[in-house]
Structure 1
Amino acid sequence: MDFVQSFTTEVGQTAENLLHKTFPKKIAELDKSLRDPEFSLKNIEKIRQCSWTSLGVLQNNEKKVSVNEGLQSVKIADREESRQVEVNKAITNIMDRLRAEITGLIDYCNILRLWVTLLLPKIEDGNNFGRSVQEETVNEVQNAECELALYLSQISNYFSSRAKIATKIIKNPHVHDYYRYIAEEDEKQFVNFRLMLVDIRNTYSSIHDLILKNIEKIKRPRNSNYGSMY
């Protein structure tokens, strides 16, 4: 029993530290990141150039064919064993940073959800408004966790989709549409990454706002005989 009580106290302290220190700091950091050149929509040109670089690897001096897509001429070696399609390094650098933000927020949401759950009082007749506020808060945090988990799936799907086309490029190097598909997919993924970062910042902000506005009802649900949830 002593361990359970100690664990509950520790969860509460961690949760309140997240709310009062970590969340405001992360909101400011992410808002600043969205203004960085790395996540600016003007960075699409760099993403496009990295796409062509990833498609134009040469490993020998065999006869080459030019694939001109309007931006630059991408050289592809004729011999199949000499061809390879690399990852878009600009995309993977952003992805690594974004994945850390996603998994970090998932972990924070898990702690907050557990904290509010442990504060739930037993079900009684009447005076359950505070409990309903707690349950709604738990649902909101859980929904955020689910959406964040979907972001991780989107990242995996991007690599799977790109790899399929890369395989086709290796087998059919003269089909220029495949090259254009890779470039377009990389640009689309960059825009998706930026939107993910916006959503992560907004999730931090909305959860922080929701809990702090209802903190009295969440921490002391039985003292709330009337009122409304923000």
Structure 2
Amino acid sequence: MEKKLNGIPVDKIDPLDPQVKDKYQIFKEEITKSALLSLRERIPQKILYFNNILTEYSKSGLLFNSDDLDKESYQSINNHSPESKRTKRAHEEANQVLPSHKQIFLELEQIKLEASELIEIITNIKLWIQLNIPRIEDGNNFGVGIQEEVIQELTRVEDTAFNLYDSIVKYYMAR
């Protein structure tokens, strides 16, 4: 028996307008394609990519190439000068911009790129799972708990990716 409120079926959440319903179906199909592409291709490629990076770094024993390090050293502030000169020098040095270490800058940019891709992948997969959770009224609730746990784990991964972004911003602010 179908429940109705003012002549509108309550147990179905599908759009009533046929055009909106068609667009919604197309949207669901696009999300499904994107999620399946991520699960079948993008995630395995990322696993191989990061495994290769770890293998390279573990062989060399170095995270950074010492040949790429800046050869220029920056002098520290000399605190033995009189107060007026120290204040003047502090203001002059506060306005100087020290160049970023090129390799650290490139690594941080790569991390930002990887984090944004991870966020995109996780968001698509979460949305796909949420769109495929069956209605409990159908009696087909097998696996709903598992789907909800997977969504929670994906949310933790997404939070980690956002924290990567946040830590990069904090690093630049601290500089």
Task: Specify if TM > 0.5.
Answer: yes
Which stretch shows the higher mean deviation, 148-157 or 38-47? 38-47
Q: Say whether the 8 Å CA contact 2:134–2:140 is kept in structure 1.
A: no
CA RMSD of aligned residues (A): 3.1
SS at match of 2:148: helix
2:55 is the alignment partner of 1:42:
no
- Provide closer, same or farther for how the CA distance between residues 107 and 129 of structure 1 changes in structure 2, counting only shifts above 3 A: same
Shift of 1:91: 0.4
Distance 1:18 1:34 in 2: 22
Q: Say whether the 8 Å CA contact 1:34–1:40 is kept in structure 2.
A: no
2:31 is the alignment partner of 1:18:
no
Match of 1:102 among 92, 110, 115: 115
Q: Which has the larger radius of gyration?
A: 2
User: How is 1:163-178 mapped onto 2 (pairs within 5 angstroms)?
Assistant: 163=175
User: How is 1:125-204 mapped onto 2 (pairs within 5 angstroms)?
Assistant: 128-161=141-174, 163=175
Q: Say whether the 8 Å CA contact 1:106–1:148 is kept in structure 2.
A: yes
- Provide closer, same or farther for how the CA distance between residues 43 and 5 of structure 1 changes in structure 2, counting only shifts above 3 A: closer
Q: Percent identity?
A: 27
SS at match of 1:90: helix
Match of 1:55 among 64, 69, 74: 74
Match of 1:124 among 109, 134, 137: 137
More RCO (CA 8 Å, sep 6+): 1
TM-score (norm 1): 0.53
- Provide closer, same or farther for how the CA distance between residues 54 and 47 of structure 1 changes in structure 2, counting only shifts above 3 A: farther
Shift of 1:115: 0.2
Match of 2:52 in 1: 32
Q: Say whether the 8 Å CA contact 1:54–1:86 is kept in structure 2.
A: no
- Provide closer, same or farther for how the CA distance between residues 101 and 45 of structure 1 changes in structure 2, counting only shifts above 3 A: closer
Shift of 1:34: 2.1
Distance 1:39 1:134 in 2: 39
Q: How many residues align?
A: 141
Distance 1:110 1:35 in 2: 29
2:22 is the alignment partner of 1:2:
yes
Query: Gaps (5+ residues) in structure 2?
Result: 1-20, 79-88
Query: Gaps (5+ residues) in structure 1?
Result: 57-64, 66-77, 164-230
Query: Deviation digits for residues 94-144 of structure 1, max 9, x if unmatched?
Result: 111111011001000000000000001112386534111111111111111
Q: Say whether the 8 Å CA contact 2:126–2:151 is kept in structure 1.
A: yes
The structure carrying a bigger helix percent of its residues is: 1
